[in-house]
Structure 1
């Protein structure tokens, strides 16, 4: 998961998908007025946040990350049992 943000000062955050523990979609009061959301992926090293997303895009990103993480966990468990 790579997030690049900023206008004057650019920040690039990289979090390996296999390190993500939790995925959350957050909508504050201002976000709800404009139909926006943010996706927060929690890792052992901290949080990675993707901001200013339309609600349906945030849902899609969270769902795709969940599927990807599930397949990685499933593959790791099958390797452990082999």
Structure 2
């Protein structure tokens, strides 16, 4: 169970990474990376729903938490000065 939680968080974290570096990649690689992340996340969610409804919803929450964790940890902080522009 713990391994599934780690995998869900890792999928979300990698999705955040691909989203952040997407503009620096070529359009072809960006599309392929996003497609792989979508398919991997979808397969993880479907396999979690196969174990039960609670596990399926936990998988969605884990991926979302991993994506948000990437944004909190690695995205630059916005200052009040940059918000006023």
Please report the TM-score for the alignment, with normalisation by the length of structure 2: 0.42
Structure number with the higher helix fraction is 2
Q: Which has the higher contact order (CA 8 A, sep 6+)?
A: 2
Please report the TM-score for the alignment, with normalisation by the length of structure 1: 0.43
